[in-house]
Amino acid sequence: MGLGLGFVGSIVVGLIAGWLAGKIMKRDQGLVTNLIVGVIGGIIGGGLLGFLNGSTGNSWILMIITATIGACILLWLVGLVKGKAKQ
């Protein structure tokens, strides 16, 4: 996530992104799980955006969108692993 965001801002973005990803992926999770998924999603989304030579600048909306996309990817991957583990 953005360098100028700060610790509290990263938590806010992570919570929002984790909550949005949970709704998009139809997962029922708690506040702490939303935070973890959102923060890891921010890292994944930021890495993908950097790979594509993109940037969110200082836009909170773009940071939330990027983190949400990353969180959805994370939840999808976790679903794949859990699905294969059941077989």
Give the pLDDT confidence of 6-50 residue by residue, as tens digits.
778 888 898 999 999 999 999 888 888 988 999 999 999 988 988
Q: Is residue 41 part of a domain?
A: yes
Q: What integer pLDDT is reported at residue 7 of this predicted model?
A: 77
Is the pLDDT at 86 greater than 70, yes or no?
Answer: no
User: Residue 4 — very low, low, confident or very high, per pLDDT cuts 50/70/90?
Assistant: low
Q: Could you list the residue range(s) of the whole structural domain that residue 64 is in?
A: 29-77
Residue 38: half-sphere exposure toward Cβ, Cα within 13 Å: 26
Q: Is residue 10 part of a domain?
A: no
Q: Is residue 67 part of a domain?
A: yes
Is the pLDDT at 56 greater than 90, yes or no?
Answer: no
Q: Which residues contact 76 (CB under 8 A, 6 or more apart)?
A: 25
Domains contained in the chain, number: 1
